[in-house]
Amino acid sequence: MRSKSIPRLVRVLPYKRTTRCFSTSPPRFAGQVRIVEVGPRDGLQNEKKSISLEIKLELIKRLAQTGVRDIEAGSFVAPKWVPQMANSADVLNHLLGHPPSAPHPITYNYLVPNLKGLQNLLRTADGVKPGTAPDLSQPTEDSDSLPTLPPSPKEQEEAEPAPITSTEDPNEMPSDTSGVNDPVKPASSSALGNQTEISIFTAATEAFSKANTNCSIAESLDRCKEIVTLAKSRDIRVRGYVSVALGCPYEGPDVAPSRVAEVTASLLEMGVDEVSVADTTGMGTAPRTRDLLKTLSAAGVANQDLALHFHDTYGQALVNVVVGLEHGIRAFDSSVGGLGGCPYSKGATGNVATEDLVYCLHSLGATTGVDVEKMAEIGSWISTELGRENDSRAGKAVLARLRT
């Protein structure tokens, strides 16, 4: 039987060679990244050497001229728990009365552990008039009435460590001394636009919450809600911290991401404007940071409501920052010179150094507006003042280059 010819259904088109690209992925833009400088508060609170008010104010003054827009300036906690923060009322007085020159307005943040802490802050702020400041050689009236933390069951024993809170163009590589598209301009007064905000804190594990604040997570959230209610009645922005989100000195490194998401959502629901998710102990790794961020997203927490706070105990801070950047986080906490530490975790080192963070972000095409050279100079200066090693690798390298 003669077979029928099968009609040709596909017409062969002539092959045209195309230029092969190295990557078919769309370019990723790092964009604008916000740096929250925590050195004057989180960085200094655990220092053993006594730090004068003059040194604190000089540190803040210098930081204000680097281009950073957010600075943690103090903490309204009991002096017996955190002696280094005992003069925070004086810091607030001075910054309200005589704010340092800066290229743009700055938000100054103060940690408050409870309602009394916020009330003391408000009383201090309400008594200050622009252009006035206390005699820096004398303590303020409020110095002796700063808030106290909940009674400790070991109050009669040797003093415990201080409470802590550590406890969102692709091709051109920017200069390591600029913020790419937002260079730091010569310092000028922008004091009229300065803002005062507060921070509150809780934890992702019950053990750490008990050790740090002598209460459960639920109880700490109740306290936070009281603070937020009063702050909002005064139109004050509130920042929240979730400590030990990637590892706890008591419960180990495997903190449940779902617990972190639950606590974070609770803070946002009560009116907190931004939550800084903190790797207090520096146990975080890239895979666990990624898992945590995915869990937060799945829980409905938006990237713009988050900041990340890394310690560099195991040298993973910048790796985790890049993971956060790829996920879409655009706010990160850091401390000049790598100041800081965790008294509840043996071997825990300071916060990721601001100089290292800024250098890394600029190399990835991000815009921060922060002058890394100025920041490096400050890191060297404050480390010398404190009699400690400068923990910023980038800062020391930048200074070495500048001085050759």
- Name the residues annotated as catalytic: 342
Give the list of residues 6+ apart from residue 87 with CB closer than 8 angstroms, or none: 53, 56, 74, 139, 140, 143
Q: In three state form, how does the secondary structure of the chain look?
A: CCCCCCCCCCCCCCCCCCCCCCCCCCCCCCCECEEEECHHHHHCCCCCCCCCHHHHHHHHHHHHCCCCCEEEEEECCCCCCCHHHCCHHHHHHHHHHCCCCCCCCCEEEEECCCHHHHHHHHHHHHCCCCCCCCCCCCCCHHHHHCCCCCCCCCCCCCCCCCCCCCCCCCCCCCCCCCCCCCCCCCCCCCHHHCEEEEEEEEECCHHHHHHHHCCCHHHHHHHHHHHHHHHHHCCCCEEEEEECCCCECCCECCCCHHHHHHHHHHHHHCCCCEEEEEECCCCCCHHHHHHHHHHHHHCCCCHHHEEEEEECCCCCHHHHHHHHHHHCCCEEEEEHHHCCCCCCCCCCCCECEHHHHHHHHHHCCCECCCCHHHHHHHHHHHHHHHCCCCCCHHHHHHHHHHCC
Give the list of residues 6+ apart from residue 269 with CB closer than 8 angstroms, or none: none
